[in-house]
Structures are given as structure tokens and as C-alpha cells.
């Protein structure tokens, strides 16, 4: 299940969906509320929406994994922890709550429709470090981050990795930028192999 970042849309991750299909997986990408062709505003339902999509996908496949980038990585971690049935979570340059709040309050995150009244108290009540600690040992975690990320410091993924239980893996790549790993073919393959191993360990 593929989760896009703030201001993005499902079409921007069809390359990963095609790569997943080529590896023999089913892939589900959707526009989060306030993005693309979805109605409504992005806010406190985002995690529930992702869990609903996981449950939908689970009706068709033997194991489900979540792959999210930036804000999508934030949602993937929380949805994986809340649902509790995912074989794996892959989070690429994941955004913690404080950086999302800072972006909203500064006016930098304006590319999508946000429920301004609900989102700030919702984000303030969440803790991605606590959530990531609830993934293991049932859900394998792969964190990927470009050291050249200009929006979310790679040290965030280091700290998340420290807070996580096994099984977990951290891949830090030199250079790059905030979106470079999302579309890197080698890194896409690495994440799909990680998901395959996690799914096979659940069977």
C-alpha cells in the first residue's frame, strides 16, 4: 500500500506500483484527503483512512506492507502501529509531527487542502517515536533517508531507528534530496526485496 507525501498524489508513485507488480505484488495507491482526486481535507482521519485501505487490500492478498514517503512515511508508521497486522513498513524520509506542525504554521505546506481546526491538536497528540516502537517484532521496519535531504534531516531516521524494535533496517544514502530515493530504481528494488522477506517470514 503506497502513501504519497504532502502536496503529492498517487500518480507520482505509479513507478513504484509498477515495480511492485513486476515483483509479483499487488499495489494499491490512493490520494489522501485533500490531495489529487480525493474529496475532503487532510487531517485527523488520515491514519484511519490508511488502515481502511490496508484492510481492503488484506481481503485480496496474504500479507500487506505499507510504503510511505515524507508525510506518507509518517502515516505509514502510525497506520502500521495502529493496525498491527502489516508484514512490513517502509518509511522514506519520514516526517515527524513537529516538522509537519512547523510546516503548517509557517505556511510552507499549502499545496493541499487541510482541516486547519483539527490537524494541529491531532498532530500534537501523536508521537511517531512511540508508534515506531510498537511495530516490532510483528512488523518489520525499513527506514530510508538521503543524507542530502533539505527538508527532513537524515538524523530523524537515525533516531526513529534507535526507537524501533527488531526486525529493523536503516539505509542512509549519501547526497540526494528529499524526493530522490522515492524514484531510485535500486532503492525501490531494495525495499521490495525487504517486503518480500518480511512477508515470507509471516507465512
Give the tens place of pLDDT for each residue, 159-186.
999 999 999 999 999 999 999 999 999 9
> How far apart are the C-alpha atoms of 33 and 189, rounded to whole Å?
28
Q: For residue 9, which phi and psi values (nearest 5 degrees)? A: -160, 165
Percent helix, strand, coil in the chain, to 5, is: 45, 15, 40
Place of cell 482526486: 37
* Joined grid coordinates for residue 124: 500534537
Over residues 1-23, the mean pLDDT reads: 96
Q: Which residue range is the domain that position 70 belongs to?
A: 2-202
Q: What is the pLDDT of residue 203?
A: 62
Over residues 121-128, the mean pLDDT reads: 97
Please check the confidence at residue 156 and state whether its pLDDT lies above 70: yes
Over residues 185-199, the mean pLDDT reads: 97
Over residues 127-144, the mean pLDDT reads: 97
Question: Residues 35-49: pLDDT tens digits?
Answer: 999 999 999 999 999
Over residues 10-31, the mean pLDDT reads: 96
Please check the confidence at residue 100 and state whether its pLDDT lies above 90: yes
Instruction: Grade residue 110 by pLDDT with cuts at 50, 70 and 90.
Output: confident
Instruction: Grade residue 107 by pLDDT with cuts at 50, 70 and 90.
Output: confident
Q: What is the mean pLDDT of the chain?
A: 95
CATH (domain of 18): 3.40.50.1820
Number of domains in the chain: 1
Model pTM score: 0.96
Beta-carbon contacts of 160 under 8 Å, excluding residues fewer than 6 positions away, are: 77, 91, 94, 96, 128, 129, 132, 143
Q: What is the pLDDT of residue 67?
A: 98
Place of cell 500487506: 64
Please check the confidence at residue 109 and state whether its pLDDT lies above 80: no
> Residue 18: how many CA atoms within 13 Å on its side-chain side?
7
Over residues 136-150, the mean pLDDT reads: 97
Over residues 105-121, the mean pLDDT reads: 86
Amino acid at each position: 500500500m503506497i502513501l504519497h507525501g504532502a502536496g503529492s498524489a498517487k500518480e507520482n508513485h505509479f513507478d513504484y506500483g509498477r515495480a511492485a507488480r513486476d515483483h509479483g505484488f499487488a499495489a494499491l495507491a490512493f490520494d489522501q484527503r485533500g490531495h489529487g482526486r480525493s474529496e475532503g481535507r487532510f487531517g485527523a482521519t488520515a491514519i484511519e483512512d490508511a488502515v481502511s485501505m490496508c484492510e481492503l487490500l488484506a481481503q485480496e492478498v496474504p500479507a500487506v506492507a505499507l510504503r510511505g514517503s515524507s508525510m506518507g512515511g509518517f502515516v505509514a508508521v502510525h497506520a502500521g502501529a495502529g493496525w498491527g497486522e502489516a508484514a512490513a513498513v517502509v518509511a522514506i524520509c519520514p516526517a515527524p509531527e513537529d516538522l509537519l506542525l512547523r510546516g503548517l504554521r509557517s505556511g510552507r505546506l499549502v499545496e493541499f487542502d487541510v482541516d486547519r481546526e483539527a490537524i494541529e491538536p491531532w498532530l500534537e497528540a501523536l508521537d511517531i517515536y512511540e508508534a515506531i516502537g510498537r511495530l516490532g517484532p510483528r512488523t518489520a521496519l525499513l527506514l530510508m533517508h538521503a543524507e542530502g535531504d533539505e527538508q527532513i534531516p537524515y538524523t530523524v531516521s537515525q533516531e526513529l531507528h534507535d526507537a524501533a524494535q527488531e526486525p529493523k533496517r536503516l539505509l542512509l544514502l549519501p547526497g540526494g534530496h528529499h524526493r530522490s530515493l522515492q524514484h531510485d530504481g535500486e532503492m525501490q528494488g531494495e525495499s521490495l526485496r525487504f517486503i518480500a522477506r518480511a512477508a515470507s517470514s509471516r507465512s
